């Protein structure tokens, strides 16, 4: 490997940190720089806990990275000059790269529903979660995907006097096995969450939400968890992206349009088992970040990287601090019959969240 190959990693979430740590240990002689708009690593998978009023730990990125001889630049990347191989920063400075790893994650998405941007809260980023201060009256959580379920349970458990409503056009956890769905419903009901699995929200207003059937539900706050989008930096910079702005990658996570750019985590389109795209998850961000680093190192050594081998194992949902669901999965993400529930599941989920944060930081 030639000396001082410059690798810039954009994003210090699960994927970016996993990539940078792996590069630091394997890409000897390379200069590695991580760029993030925040100066702390936040366990994003705990943001529903933060929104419900719990304190969550954060880690100083400069300390974390410089201890591994990785440079850290706190700045927002505003453009990638793919011709000049430079990342432009909001500080009006630029970083040159030979190889770029794009791992900018995801943000909240309003799904085009009127009023979401103006009147709804989100728990997608630490700033969003911080902005939400649970009010005394009713709280409507829109979306019964993993984030909506976890948030509704956490709010109901932390604030038993609040009225929490979970609105979605589907049964909470509809993609999981019947046993997992039944347990989720049982726990949510025990916590006092009002589940409305027939509710399509058409508008969010200053004092509530309007449903497709014309019903108006008044509430003190609405939290939108029904969708995630990605930053538009890749699209604006001319990288090949899908309709949502995620970087299109080949089987080695290399951009299909720019061979010196790799992408991992939520902001990349990555083929998974059975040809299904990997879903946005910490569980996919960590291994794809690591793998992208391995692919970069292999090519720096003049070899062709082995293909990404990924299979799903389980999906974990917390249902407050004392209950949860661990759904065992087939390789392609479809639910198997085995489900773990109750306190054991809550404990397993907590261990996994701690483990994921540990892997990212190490
Ligand atoms: C409340 C909640 C609970 C969740 N629970 C789970 C769970 O239990 N299990 C699971 O697998 N997944 C879970 N997820 C999803 C998981 O958090 C994400 O899939 C994961 O964080 C993606 O990792 P990433 O590294 O791709 O992106 P991120 O973790 O989002 O990191 C991206 C980084 O890029 C930085 N960044 C973005 N734009 C710029 C820019 N222009 N310039 C500089 N820096 C920038 C951000 O500051 C951030 O640090 C949850 C998500 C939420 C919101």
Crossing angle (nearest 10°) for helices 342-361 and 282-300: 30
* Percent over 70 (pLDDT), the chain: 99
Query: Quick one: pLDDT at residue 114?
Result: 97
Average pLDDT, integer, range 136-149: 96
Say which CATH architecture domain 6-106+230-300 belongs to.
Answer: 3-Layer(bba) Sandwich (3.50)
15 lines ligand 1 (CB under 6 A): yes
> Can you tell me the mean pLDDT for 296-315?
96
**Residue to probe by mutation, ligand 1, list 45, 101, 142, most atoms within 8 Å of CB:** 45
Q: Is the CB of 47 under 6 A from ligand 1?
A: yes
Q: How far is the CA of 13 from the centre of ligand 1 (A)?
A: 6
Q: In this predicted structure, what is the pLDDT of residue 289?
A: 98
Expressed in angstroms and rounded, the spacing between residue 12 Cα and the centre of ligand 1 is 9
Q: What is the pLDDT of residue 3?
A: 58
Contacts of 11 (CB under 8 A, 6+ apart): 34, 35, 36, 102, 103, 104, 105, 265, 267
For the chain, what are the domain ranges? 6-106+230-300, 108-227
How far apart (Å, rounded) are the C-alpha atoms in residues 351 and 312? 18
CA 216 to ligand 1 centroid distance, Å: 33
**Ligand 1 pocket, residue 38 CB under 6 Å:** yes
Q: What digits encode the pLDDT tens for the residues 193-219?
A: 999 999 999 999 999 999 999 999 999
- Is the pLDDT at 274 greater than 90, yes or no? no
DSSP alpha helix (H) spans, 136-254 = 146-158, 178-190, 233-236
182 in contact with ligand 1, CB cutoff 6 A: no
Instruction: Report how far residue 337's alpha carbon sits from residue 207's, in angstroms, rounded to the nearest whole number.
Output: 42
**Which ligand 1 atom is the nearest neighbour of the CA of 18?**
25
Among 33, 94, 16, which residue's Cα sits nearest to residue 68? 33
Position 1 pLDDT exceeds 60:
no
Check if the beta carbon of residue 16 is closer than 8 Å to that of residue 293: no
pLDDT at 362: 84
Q: Is the CB of 325 under 6 A from ligand 1?
A: no
Which pLDDT belongs to residue 19? Answer: 98
DSSP letters for 223-286: EE-S-EE--SHHHHTT--B-TTSPEEB-TTSBBSS-TTEEE-GGGEE-B-GGGPBPPSSHHHHH
Query: Which of 46, 221, 226 minimizes the C-alpha distance to 134?
Result: 221
Backbone angles phi, psi at 183, to 5 degrees: -65, -40
Query: How far is CA 219 from each of CA 88, 135, 197, 208, rounded to the nearest angstrom?
Result: 43, 10, 18, 5
Cα radius of gyration rounded to whole Å, the chain: 21
| Distances, alpha carbon 303 to alpha carbons 1, 21, 141, 214, 307, in Å | 11, 21, 49, 61, 12
Q: Is the CB of 71 under 6 A from ligand 1?
A: no
Write out pLDDT tens, residues 215-263: 999 999 999 999 899 999 999 999 999 999 999 999 999 999 999 999 9
- Pocket perturbation via mutation, ligand 1, pick of 91, 173, 282 by most ligand atoms within 8 A of CB: 282
Residue-wise pLDDT tens digits, 43-88 = 999 999 999 999 999 999 999 999 999 999 999 999 999 999 999 9
Q: Take atom 5 of ligand 1 and give the residue whose Cα is closest.
A: 45
Ligand 1 contact, 292 CB (< 6 A): no
Mean pLDDT score of the chain: 96
Could you check whether 6-106+230-300 and 108-227 share the same CATH topology?
yes
CATH of 108-227, one of 3.50.50.60, 3.30.360.10, 3.90.1070.10, 3.10.450.50: 3.50.50.60
278 Cβ closer than 6 Å to some ligand 1 atom: no
């Amino acid at each position: 490997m030639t000396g001082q190959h410059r690798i810039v990693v954009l994003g210090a979430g699960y994927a970016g940190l996993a990539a940078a740590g792996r590069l630091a240990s394997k890409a000897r002689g390379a200069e590695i720089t991580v760029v993030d708009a925040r100066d702390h690593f936040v366990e994003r998978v705990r943001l529903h806990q933060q929104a419900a009023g719990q304190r969550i730990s954060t880690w100083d990125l400069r300390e974390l990275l410089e201890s591994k001889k990785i440079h850290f630049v706190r700045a927002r990347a505003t453009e990638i000059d793919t011709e000049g191989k430079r990342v432009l920063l909001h500080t009006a400075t630029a970083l040159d790269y030979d190889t770029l790893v794009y791992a900018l994650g995801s943000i909240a998405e309003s799904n085009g529903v009127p009023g979401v941007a103006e009147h709804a809260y989100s728990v997608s980023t630490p700033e969003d979660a911080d902005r939400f201060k649970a009010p005394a009256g009713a709280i409507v959580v829109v979306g019964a995907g993993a984030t909506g379920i976890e948030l509704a349970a956490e709010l109901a458990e932390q604030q038993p006097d609040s009225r929490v409503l979970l609105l979605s056009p589907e049964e909470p956890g509809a993609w999981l096995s019947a046993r997992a769905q039944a347990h989720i419903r049982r726990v949510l009901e025990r916590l006092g969450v009002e589940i409305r699995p027939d509710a399509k929200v058409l508008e969010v207003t200053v004092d509530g939400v309007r449903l497709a059937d014309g019903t108006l539900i008044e509430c003190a706050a609405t939290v939108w968890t029904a969708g995630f989008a990605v930053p538009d930096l890749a699209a604006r910079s001319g990288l090949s992206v899908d309709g949502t702005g995620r970087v299109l990658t080949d089987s080695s996570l290399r951009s299909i349009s720019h061979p010196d750019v790799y992408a991992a985590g939520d902001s990349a389109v990555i083929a998974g088992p059975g040809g299904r795209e990997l879903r946005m998850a910490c569980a996919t961000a960590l291994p794809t970040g690591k793998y992208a680093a391995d692919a970069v190192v292999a090519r720096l050594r003049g070899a062709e990287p082995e293909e990404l081998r990924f299979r799903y194992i389980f999906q974990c949902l917390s249902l407050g601090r004392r209950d949860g669901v661990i759904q065992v999965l087939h390789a392609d993400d479809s639910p198997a019959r085995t489900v773990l529930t109750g306190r054991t599941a809550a404990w397993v989920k907590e261990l996994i969240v701690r483990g994921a944060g540990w892997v990212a930081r190490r």
